Structure 1
Amino acid sequence: MQERATAWLLNVGHAIDHMFLLIFATAVTAIAADFGLPRWEALMPYGTLAFFLFGLGALPAGRLGDLWGRRPMMLVFFFGIGTAALLVACARTPLELAIALGLLGAFASIYHPVGIPMLVRTSPHPGWTLGINGLAGNLGVALAAIVTGFLVKHVDWRAAFAVPGAVAIGCGIAFALLARDDALPPARRARSRPDVPRALFLRLFLVMTLAATTGSLLFNFSTNANYELLRERLAPITGDPATLGALLAGVYALASLAQLAVGRLIDRYTLKPLYIAVIALQIPLLALAAHAQGWWLYVLQAGFMIAIFGAIPFTEAMIVRHVDDRMRSRVAGMRLAVSFSAGAVAVWLLGPVVHQAGFATLLWMMAALACCTLGALFWLPPSPEARDDAR
């Protein structure tokens, strides 16, 4: 019962992590108006620090998760991200907003290298566990759209940060009461599998990092732009923020279900061809969406988000299959530090690219990134099971 409650809270933590990072992108129009800025694009660069620290912070977070312990790091995550959200709600200028968002991003960086290895350590079906965890994370993305749209319309943008912040602190209290404290930090436990040969590990890490970096750029471009993309392309149909938030939440909820299917397939089949197939779907959907309008855009947006979300479990599955639990947080932290920091570039570029060239150019750029991911995956080494069969 205690382990089930811990797993439940770890999945809720993933939802919180992704939700908090996207509240700003959903509320940016209202925030810009409150601060007296003429366009939302002018405020988008102020969110860059949050995503940069979200990536950079994964490196020390992963190291501390292995050497100090994953439970205490998750407590820092829940209480820290909740407090940071409350500080964002108190911001009075764009500079104060950027600093508070940066603090939020730093605490958000803890989850992926710490929470996911803690969740899958004893799982007999890691692919399914990762699928459920991915579903929870992306339902957090959906919540960012619908909850933020509702609170912005009926209260104000500050409530969109303050209410979830209080919920995160409540989850931290529950985690402190329910999560079991491990006797030893992961780095001091006994080895559970043989080491991967150094050359093979370097090849795996390079491919995993390249794929995760382009995937992070795609994820940040799409999730940070989707609300404004809908607002522009559905303008003749509706401009109500709550309605747009509900429509976008529907896209994210549907796309999140793809992770359950992918998680089940990862447990049953070879990783590499599955990963290649999911990435290959992204390219035509993004290209077609570049010039679609109205409900056609909405259908294609759901399609490319299914493919983008469906790719997320693969890099974590690589770590589970190839890396011993004693160092999973550190390996994940190194990979995330590179990929998420690069993903911050998407937040910085988003406003200027859309302002100067429009959403069509942005979507073609995203299709090109998917092509880069596809090329990197052909160099992915075989899984341990395939190497054993070959021997």
Structure 2
Amino acid sequence: MDSNDRAIVSFAMLSHAMVHTYELSIPILMLLWTAEFSISIGFLAVVVSAGYAMFGLGALPSGVLADIYGSRPLIVCCLVGMGASFLVLSVAPSLPILVLGLVCWGIAASIYHPAGLSLISTGVVDRGTAFAYHGMAGNAGIALGPLVTALLLLVVDWRLVTAFLAMPALLVALYALRARFDETAGTRDRRGEADSTDGTPATSPAELWAGSKALFATGFSVVFAIVMLNGLFYRGTLTMLPEILTTFLEPVVGGLQVFDPNSPMADEFEPSRFLYTGLLVVGIGGQYVGGRLTERVATERGLMVVLASLSITALAFIPAARAGIASLVAVSAVLGFLLFMLQPLYQATIARYSPADARGLSYGFTYVGTFGIGALGAAITGIIYETFSVFVMFATLAGFALLAATLSYSLLASSSAGAHSSTAELDSD
């Protein structure tokens, strides 16, 4: 990586870690909000879902704005907005103000993924390595954010914790204003490749509609279907795993607790949560391997192989879990590694199937599919788990992954056929 690449990757890694730190700190804070605002956990979950919904739905307009104004100012707005939202949460005197803070956080957080990934895809030359480090930083936030939040809650009031959590994002925003990098260096270096196709950012609803139609008329439509299916798998798996791991671990470890059972944090540190956090940490390695593979193999082939492996792992999860704690830990580690290995692969594939000047729009649609439509995965798996069985639930997840692997194969076959056709035409000349 050159100095420009390193500057962009450092900025993106810090910002990405912030987004997921906040995302996963909210469920822990919910434990205390129920008592503070005299609200049931079920109703509070509905309240919190308003913020998470904006996290997904806001991605598309954020992507459009990133194409028009550039990624840096959008990401600065994201960081300042997330920090300010947590300051609002820290002083919220009533439930409506709490809801306002959560919705504002969701709107601010929705900016990051389309803007950040657009920045990497257009500004970084060594894009595969950048996607790897970027994903690793996100997983660090996912795994360590809840842990840090829970540890702080053991010694200070939740209002002080939320105020403290606001500070890192504001500091990263100040760093962003001082950082120097070229957002278009990667596109210039890749001039002539498929992802450097000229395009024009949409500046009106008519242009947005026309640009969207043109985008979905290409192979991007297949990539969108793949990431949507991955979103269903991702959200469905990560939502239900804590409950499933608890079910399989309780007969083995009994009532082991790290903290006093009367502590409000006791549930957060039960053995199943340790294993769940370990799964997320293993995902850091998956992100790195997936990112490095994007520069070494066709990303379509990488997606096909990883998705097929994920389907097999889902089918094997319950038999392995029933075989003992060692096999449960092993299959959980494989699941976490493969699940997060996918992210840099599909992010790089999106860059290949979208014009550089509409990259923000492309990633905006992508994260509507991943976090918006993909959020249905939690409902689907929850209903199947309650109505049928845990094995049927994992079989459904395996079906999502297998269908996505099939689509990846079709994308690979189409790409290979196009390359073969181009070669034949050159030979005939």
TM-score class, shorter: 0.7 to 0.9
**What displacement does 1:286 show?**
2.4
1:254 is aligned to 282
Moved more, 336-345 or 1-10: 1-10
Q: Deviations along 1:300-352, whole A, 9 cap, x unmatched?
A: 22221211111111221112223332221112112322332112334566777
Q: How far apart, CA to CA, are the structure 2 residues paired with 1:233 and 1:91?
A: 39
Structure 1 residue 14 and structure 2 residue 42: aligned? Answer: no
Say which of 310, 313, 323 aligns to 1:282.
310
Q: Give structure 2 stretches of 5+ with no counterpart.
A: 200-212, 258-265, 423-429
Q: How far apart, CA to CA, are the structure 2 residues paired with 1:89 and 1:350?
A: 34
1:58 is aligned to 59
Provide closer, same or farther for how the CA distance between residues 207 and 175 of structure 1 changes in structure 2, counting only shifts above 3 A: same
Q: How far apart, CA to CA, are the structure 2 residues paired with 1:323 and 1:182?
A: 17
Which AA in structure 1 matches 2:27?
Answer: A
Structure 1 residue 238 and structure 2 residue 240: aligned? Answer: no
Q: How far apart, CA to CA, are the structure 2 residues paired with 1:44 and 1:86?
A: 21
**What displacement does 1:79 show?**
0.4
Moved more, 351-360 or 13-22: 351-360
Provide closer, same or farther for how the CA distance between residues 31 and 360 of structure 1 changes in structure 2, counting only shifts above 3 A: farther
Contact persistence 2:9–2:133 (CA under 8 A): no
Contact persistence 2:78–2:109 (CA under 8 A): yes
Say which of 257, 265, 272 aligns to 2:300.
272
2:233 is aligned to 218
Provide closer, same or farther for how the CA distance between residues 227 and 90 of structure 1 changes in structure 2, counting only shifts above 3 A: farther
1:104 is aligned to 105
Q: Give structure 1 stretches of 5+ with no counterpart.
A: none
Q: How far apart, CA to CA, are the structure 2 residues paired with 1:352 and 1:152?
A: 33
In the alignment of these two chains, the number of paired residues is 385
Provide closer, same or farther for how the CA distance between residues 354 and 152 of structure 1 changes in structure 2, counting only shifts above 3 A: farther
Q: Deviations along 1:149-200, whole A, 9 cap, x unmatched?
A: 323444455555433222111111111122458699x9xxx9983469x989
TM-score, L = length of structure 1: 0.83
Say which of 331, 337, 362 aligns to 2:368.
337
Secondary structure at 1:378 match in 2: helix
Contact persistence 1:204–1:381 (CA under 8 A): no
Which AA in structure 1 matches 2:131?
Answer: L
Provide closer, same or farther for how the CA distance between residues 274 and 53 of structure 1 changes in structure 2, counting only shifts above 3 A: same
Moved more, 301-310 or 151-160: 151-160
1:316 is aligned to 347
The structure with the larger Rg is 2
Secondary structure at 2:125 match in 1: coil
Provide closer, same or farther for how the CA distance between residues 191 and 288 of structure 1 changes in structure 2, counting only shifts above 3 A: closer
Two-structure CA RMSD over aligned residues (Å):
3.5
Which AA in structure 2 matches 1:238?
Answer: L
The residue correspondences of 1:157-168 to structure 2 (distance < 5 A) are: 157-158=158-159, 161-168=162-169
**What displacement does 1:224 show?**
3.7
Provide closer, same or farther for how the CA distance between residues 272 and 2 of structure 1 changes in structure 2, counting only shifts above 3 A: closer
Say which of 302, 320, 325 aligns to 2:356.
325
Q: How far apart, CA to CA, are the structure 1 residues paired with 2:11 and 2:115?
A: 13
Which AA in structure 2 matches 1:256?
Answer: I
Contact persistence 2:132–2:291 (CA under 8 A): yes
Moved more, 324-333 or 71-80: 324-333
Secondary structure at 2:67 match in 1: helix
Provide closer, same or farther for how the CA distance between residues 183 and 321 of structure 1 changes in structure 2, counting only shifts above 3 A: closer
Provide closer, same or farther for how the CA distance between residues 372 and 100 of structure 1 changes in structure 2, counting only shifts above 3 A: farther
Provide closer, same or farther for how the CA distance between residues 200 and 46 of structure 1 changes in structure 2, counting only shifts above 3 A: closer
**What displacement does 1:7 show?**
2.4
Contact persistence 1:44–1:347 (CA under 8 A): no
1:209 is aligned to 224
**What displacement does 1:83 show?**
1.4
Provide closer, same or farther for how the CA distance between residues 234 and 164 of structure 1 changes in structure 2, counting only shifts above 3 A: farther
Greater relative contact order: 1 or 2 (C-alpha under 8 angstroms, separation 6 or more)? 1
Which AA in structure 2 matches 1:251?
Answer: L
The residue correspondences of 1:298-309 to structure 2 (distance < 5 A) are: 298-309=329-340
Q: How far apart, CA to CA, are the structure 2 residues paired with 1:202 and 1:32?
A: 47
1:366 is aligned to 397
Q: How far apart, CA to CA, are the structure 2 residues paired with 1:69 and 1:338?
A: 22
**What displacement does 1:268 show?**
1.0
TM-score, L = length of structure 2: 0.77
Contact persistence 2:215–2:221 (CA under 8 A): no
2:210 is aligned to none
Contact persistence 1:200–1:381 (CA under 8 A): no
Provide closer, same or farther for how the CA distance between residues 183 and 247 of structure 1 changes in structure 2, counting only shifts above 3 A: closer
**What displacement does 1:359 show?**
5.7
**What displacement does 1:73 show?**
0.7
2:206 is aligned to none
2:79 is aligned to 78
Contact persistence 1:30–1:157 (CA under 8 A): yes
Q: How far apart, CA to CA, are the structure 2 residues paired with 1:89 and 1:353?
A: 37
Secondary structure at 1:267 match in 2: coil
Moved more, 278-287 or 151-160: 151-160
Q: How far apart, CA to CA, are the structure 2 residues paired with 1:200 and 1:44?
A: 36
Contact persistence 2:80–2:170 (CA under 8 A): yes
Which AA in structure 1 matches 2:110?
Answer: S
The percentage of counterpart residues that share the same residue type is 24
Contact persistence 1:77–1:110 (CA under 8 A): yes
**What displacement does 1:257 show?**
0.7
**What displacement does 1:110 show?**
1.0
2:147 is aligned to 146
Q: How far apart, CA to CA, are the structure 2 residues paired with 1:222 and 1:162?
A: 31
